[in-house]
Amino acid sequence: MGEDLQVWLTIAGMAVGTLMTRIGGFWLMRLVPEGGFISRALNHLPGALVISILAPYALDGGWSAPVAILVALVVGRLGLSAIYAVFGACALVAILRLAV
């Protein structure tokens, strides 16, 4: 089997796997009752994902990373759009790293 064919078969297999995961998730959620615990858990999921992504970076990203995350949290608490928090945190990290 040629190398190109193997690459395309791998890509196609990953696409099918991704599609089946998505379809399976929709199918399983159809069986879960709405409201109650599930609703509360799903409402907290985006925040939990953000924390799980940012926590290792904050611990290993030097001193500027926790400062930028704190600024992003403050901007988010002020009720501004999340995009302002992201851009503000990224700009702050860039400024702090250039300053030192």
Residue 18: its pLDDT value, please? Answer: 95
Are the C-beta atoms of 65 and 55 separated by less than 8 Å? no
Alpha-carbon distances, residue 87 vs 5, 19, 32, 33, 56 (angstroms): 42, 32, 37, 38, 20
Say if residue 64 is in the same domain as residue 93: yes
> Do 16 and 50 lie in a common domain?
no
| Residue 54: closest CA among 80, 84, 85 | 85
What's the length of the chain? 100
Same domain, 20 and 50: no
Same domain, 21 and 49: no
Tokens 């290792």 sit on residue: 56
Count of structural domains within the chain? 2
How confident is the model at residue 33, as a pLDDT?
82
Residues of the chain with pLDDT under 70: 1, 61
pLDDT of residue 23: 94
Dist CA 100 CA 95 (whole Å): 9
